Amino acid sequence: MAAEDDIVEWFEAAAETAGAVQSQTLRRIIESNLGSEYLGRWLGGDLRVQDLSPAELESLFTSAVPLATHADLEPYIQRIAHGDASPVLTQQPITMLSLSSGTTGGRPKYVPFTRFSSQSTLEIFRLAAAYRSRVFPIRSGGRILEFIYSSKQFQTKGGLMAGTATTHYFASEEFKTKQRTTKCFTCSPFEVISAGDYQQSTYCHLLLGLLFHEEVEFVASTFAYSIVQALTAFEELWEELCEDMRQGTLSSKISMPTMRKAVVENLVPNPSLASKIERECEGLRRSGWCGLIPRVWPNAKYIYSIMTGSMQPYLRKLRHYAGEVPLVCAEYGSTESWIGVNLEPLNPPERVAFAVIPTFSYFEFIPLHKQRKQDSSSRLVTTDDDFEEGQPVPLCKVSVGQQYEIVLTTFTGLYRYRLGDVVEVAGFYKGTPQLTFVCRRKLVLTVNIDKNTERDLQLAVEKGSCLLSRTKAELVDFTSHAEVAHHPGHYVIYWEIKGEVEEGVLQDCCREMDAAFVDQGYVVSRKTSSIGPLELRIVDTGTFRKIMEHFIGNGTAMSQFKTPRCTTNQVLLTILDCCTVKRFWSTAYSP
């Protein structure tokens, strides 16, 4: 308990004086890396940091160093990847690179990874656990059913170790420390987490979770998608899992020797447990698997994962499995840096706000003012990317209710880096702002003058899929594509559905989605037929699993996978088009 009190006390003090702490953070970053080529280019190598007051240093830094995107820093990062050991971005050589998933921006990108990256991950996990334990006390010595997955690390041309950020963390001493010192232990040994085959790992996660089912204190994963994916697999695998428990054996489908050995060490024949789980599953199958988690893991107090942004479409299914078990949103971060912690775990994911941790990076915020336009019904509307930008402001100068794009300066060599995340300030915790995630800045759907973001797409899909409530069907997953090869261009939205739906209902779903896009450019273009009718394509069962397997086969870790909400990737479009079984066109704007 003392350790939990210590880290809470540390954060409370940092939050109280967040402005001063940010000044100290910036000073530490500059002092550590002033000898780097990039920082020296803008600040000069002979700068005497100690001679400047905090205000003077911040003013000099923000006026001399330009705002940057990943494209601006990519040439420097590529030099590092190719083996340049000189102080390019940081004073100390960077020996590891993180690989983003590539599902947001369309292709993976390298981001510097250092010991600080692992240390800050361990720190935020401890801090978040301390606040969660105040609301959800857990038994010491219990278990966590964690659906976490590592992928393979590889070497760049220059000999640097590269891999996803989660893979680096799972291989770090900090992760091993967490496993040794946490109140609860992960059900699965490291050999399951690091196997690199998500299907075999998922089977073993589930089997071990069942063996320790009464000890499981909470269910967790990096992203909500991974939990939904695992429990969907459970619906198909439960009989085989129960047979393994009954016999004390492990399915022959688990072929990786190290994982197999680690799991078998935990197995003994347990016919009574197998029969108990079978009875629960028989009942769950008849009821559509509603409340699976509390029925199978009766002592689970909550479900913990990232549930904002692109994970929100999975909340309905996750709540179906969770029953009355609360959903607790995990912390806010990116491959580049951790940003904020969830101090109020009882808040539902749709209302979660993250308190910025002022020691992790130096934060700036670009004010975004939405341009307000009128649609044909004289209703004022806004579009998520029609922003007018203000001048960046420091952390302590943000305003409640205002939206901003986050800018990071990190210990790992990113300076005034535009993250692309749009957030809104919900309030302050002591002196540090609390942020709600709004959307990614990048447009995902555009044909000509229309501008729609991932958030706009998600809202349209939610409105259209509500009509599925007329049936017993449900939306499994979705993505989209702006088809511009033929004139006029139009939006194509792909749905995978579980269950049978009449074509008339799907036609209505298509029309509702088309009408749900309120961007003025889209509305006008649809009315003048410069954008064609929205097309809804229904794809075959398992299509989005094929998409996931494509990304995993190209190096994305299961823990880091996010379904791309819009794609121009020809491989994915080929998968989607080959799996299309039905097509519908909107009549929302028919004369």
pLDDT tens per residue, range 351-386: 999 999 999 999 999 999 865 444 333 333 333 445
pLDDT number for residue 385: 47
pLDDT number for residue 376: 36
- Do the beta carbons of residue 481 and residue 504 sit within 8 Å? no
User: How far is Cα 318 from Cα 445, in angstroms, rounded to an integer?
Assistant: 27
Query: For residue 560, is pLDDT > 70?
Result: no
What residues contact 378, with CB distance under 8 A and at least 6 apart?
Answer: none
pLDDT number for residue 101: 55
Q: What is the DSSP string of 500-516?
A: ---HHHHHHHHHHHHHH
Query: For residue 388, is pLDDT > 70?
Result: yes
pLDDT number for residue 319: 94
pLDDT number for residue 243: 94
Query: For residue 487, is pLDDT > 70?
Result: yes
Average the pLDDT over 477-488 and give the result: 84
pTM: 0.80
Which of 546, 534, 524 has the alpha carbon at shortest distance from 463? 534
Residues 264, 268, 272, 273, CA torsion sign: negative
Task: Give me the chain's average pLDDT, please.
Answer: 86
96-99 and 161-163 strand pairing: parallel
Q: pLDDT tens for residues 423-442?
A: 999 999 999 999 998 877 77
- Do the beta carbons of residue 535 and residue 482 sit within 8 Å? no
pLDDT number for residue 473: 85
Q: pLDDT tens for residues 156-200?
A: 888 888 877 778 888 777 777 777 667 678 888 888 988 878 889
Backbone angles phi, psi at 59, to 5 degrees: -65, -45
- Do the beta carbons of residue 99 and residue 109 sit within 8 Å? yes
Q: pLDDT tens for residues 26-41?
A: 999 998 898 899 998 8
Query: For residue 147, is pLDDT > 70?
Result: yes
Strands of 57-201, DSSP E: 96-99, 110-113, 143-147, 154-155, 161-163, 185-186
Q: pLDDT tens for residues 86-123?
A: 999 998 888 888 877 554 444 568 888 888 888 888 88
Q: pLDDT tens for residues 197-215?
A: 888 999 999 999 999 999 9
pLDDT number for residue 3: 66
Which has the higher per-residue pLDDT, 22 or 520? 22
216-223 and 185-186 strand pairing: unpaired
Which of 197, 284, 210, 286 has the alpha carbon at shortest distance from 248? 210
Q: pLDDT tens for residues 563-588?
A: 888 888 888 899 999 999 999 999 88
Where do runs of H (alpha helix) occur along 287-384? 292-296, 315-322
Average the pLDDT over 310-332 and give the result: 91
User: How far is Cα 549 from Cα 577, in angstroms, rounded to an integer?
Assistant: 17
Amino acid, single-letter form, for residue 378: S
Domain ranges in the chain are: 2-113+333-440, 137-325, 443-585
pLDDT number for residue 236: 92
